[in-house]
Structure 1
């Protein structure tokens, strides 16, 4: 989430910042937790540690358990969502499965609200957070993106793709919206804790008096789409891959249209505790391995996200 500062925050970047995230950004540092239902039957498979080429890079305790617990907001297609059978699918689960074969472990996805994922990581509920979360300085340093004040522990990111933030409206009913400046006086639906929310807050400060952006915040992107579809909002915003997928699939492509250009392209990153550098480095090695062997490119192409591909996984590349 391009995805908050989303793309899953700084106000100038995309869950999605605007995907620089595409955290922790504002609400991402909330202490409350949402739905943290464990999807034990929807985990990402892997080969045994004995045959995995990068197994020795993992911390001993994770290698012994054979499982990496992944905090994720599993309602953000095509990055992560549940198919009709209830299985967790998407870009992140597929990448995790490929990395699991390199590391000899299973990536077990556990559902949680996006703005509580970093809280779950800090409390050791999860080993990592992988949820279209934008890598940015606010999340790296644990800062509130609006005030710049320290509000929690920062995290490290293993960056793995790039995305920007987009605005979309009901198809054929754009309300004259062609970019962020046109949202003044309009109702905008966003997922709470994302870069889209940060960008909207920043844009609202520029609006004429009495004509601000009426920001509607939801726990997940699907709820924001429902509000727009019903006419309760004039527009919605999310990371470009998510917006594009919604435009393509919702109502058979008849519900929405993207308006304007995507903005604030930034890296998605896998969030890891700064105390767990060995796990961070193992994930980086695994991601680079699947980039080099071609699995990474095939996965992004499968989900129509190849434009966000990177040539190398880096640590904390967000700004």
Structure 2
């Protein structure tokens, strides 16, 4: 989603997404979340292209031989991907990856990295893919810097797997009349660096009238931004809606933050793959469509209370 073209979603969809995301914390209390690092091939039979992995032959040979897909991810973005108290990697993305791994006969190994370096990690071959609540946008597909409009890299392909919008949240009881992005002029906002929220904040800052500057504080991860807001260092924060809703529900026992206004229009999350790895891209899409068809995908989004963001079919480069 490009900041310049973001629009409000209709009220019915906003309420639907909100109802799903508010259930996240309750679901977490009822379902044990084990360590998903390595993608959860519990019986060990999926790795290596056994009969239990019907799509293994779609993968590039070098990945089949290794039995591992290296995943670059910012593991501080609950409930999409984060670490539990024991250090295990859990969340929506690790669960989806684990289900895909059963189809492909490989393990998805999540490696922690700051969000704004993940695409660079793909280019340097540090990761095979990036899966980190990354919004599929034309700029990212084309390797264009959203600030300058200049081409800075070859871009990536996206395998789309979920839809999510962006929300604003404030300290609870201290909304200061903030309901829209225009209301942020003259105030301070915290965001995670390199995200769509960051893009939206920079676009809004250009629109603010003289004397009402929007101060933007960008951090390496969303938890740092939330900590800054909670300490009184800013007036508002912005994150993808599932993340903002989770923070509102869980931080300070639900007494720290509140969401204000409507989320901006949902856009697809995509698994980022280097442009020259089309075989890997297509194998990932096939695995996603397989778990959508067999019902595993539906169980995962229901487990995390985010059914409203589910897709009926995986697409390639569907972002605008």
Pair in the same fold by TM > 0.5: yes
Aligned CA RMSD, in angstroms, stands at 1.4
1:54 aligns to what?
55
Secondary structure class of the residue paired with 1:311: coil
Distance 1:13 1:143, change over 3 A: farther
Q: Distance in 1 between matches of 2:303 and 2:234?
A: 31
What TM-score, normalized by structure 2, do the two folds share?
A: 0.88
CA contact (8 A) 1:121 1:128 kept: yes
1:12 aligns to what?
5
TM-superposition CA deviations, 1:268-311 (whole Å, max 9, x none) = 00000110000000000000000011111111111111110000
2:247 aligns to what?
246
CA contact (8 A) 1:184 1:207 kept: yes
Q: Distance in 1 between matches of 2:172 and 2:82?
A: 24
CA contact (8 A) 2:36 2:90 kept: no
Secondary structure class of the residue paired with 2:212: coil
Distance 1:41 1:95, change over 3 A: closer
Secondary structure class of the residue paired with 2:72: strand
Pick which of 42-51 and 231-240 moved more: 42-51
Q: Distance in 2 between matches of 1:193 and 1:77?
A: 17
CA contact (8 A) 2:135 2:268 kept: yes
Q: Quick check: 1:229 aligned with 2:230?
A: yes
TM-superposition CA deviations, 1:240-285 (whole Å, max 9, x none) = 0000000111111111100000003100000001100000000000
Q: Distance in 1 between matches of 2:140 and 2:228?
A: 28
Q: Quick check: 1:44 aligned with 2:45?
A: no
2:89 aligns to what?
88
TM-superposition CA deviations, 1:33-56 (whole Å, max 9, x none) = xxxxxxx99321331311200000
Tell me which structure has the larger Cα radius of gyration: 2
CA contact (8 A) 1:185 1:212 kept: yes
- Give how far 1:133 is off: 0.1
Q: Distance in 2 between matches of 1:203 and 1:191?
A: 16
- Give how far 1:11 is off: 4.1
Can you give the 5+ residue segments of structure 1 that lack an aligned partner in the other structure? Answer: 15-39
CA contact (8 A) 1:10 1:138 kept: no
- Give how far 1:175 is off: 1.2
Secondary structure class of the residue paired with 2:207: coil
What TM-score, normalized by structure 1, do the two folds share?
A: 0.88
2:117 aligns to what?
116
2:11 aligns to what?
none
Q: Distance in 2 between matches of 1:90 and 1:271?
A: 18
- Give how far 1:12 is off: 3.1
Runs in 1 of length 4+ with deviation above 4 angstroms? none
Q: Quick check: 1:142 aligned with 2:143?
A: yes
- Give how far 1:82 is off: 0.2
- Give how far 1:146 is off: 2.5
1:173 aligns to what?
174
Spell out the pairing of 1:147-226 with structure 2 (5 A cutoff).
Answer: 147-226=148-227
